[in-house]
Structure 1
Amino acid sequence: MHTATGDPNLGARLRSLRLDQGLSLKAVAEQAAISVPYLSEVERGRKLPALDMLARIANALDTNVTKLLRGLEPYDN
């Protein structure tokens, strides 16, 4: 797992998608095989998930990594 500070724009996008679908943190975390606290940290921009983890989160949200990242500014931590 990547533990660097995450991208708040990506986190906000993930949270928005989750809420738009009426999904709980627990439901998405279980589907993505990650912990609820970790997903919460990603959504708040405090953690940056590795690409494979981001793909699992995207899948749980019925989207893909390309769509998640489209339009976001390059992130440089």
Structure 2
Amino acid sequence: RYTGALTIAEGKVTAKVGLAYATQGDALANLTPGDNIFVINSQWYSDNALVIQGPGAGKEVTAAGVHSDLYWLVQNLK
């Protein structure tokens, strides 16, 4: 899956965007095409993540966003 992750540990914030492996039972693996999902693991949701899922921008807009990210990456790798 193409994902974004935000981690806060010991007052330090780390953000990552890119492809991530999702195991078969993972909420990300069961995402319906066209939907967006937030999986929140926190002090209160450590054993059982809070999952918020719903309609996304649609296939065309999502594809344009991925294309834009890939274009940015290629331009910055030069």
Higher helix share: 1
TM range, normalised to the smaller chain?
A: under 0.3
Structure with bigger RCO (C-alpha 8 Å, 6+ apart): 1
Which of 1 and 2 has greater Rg? 2
Higher strand share: 2
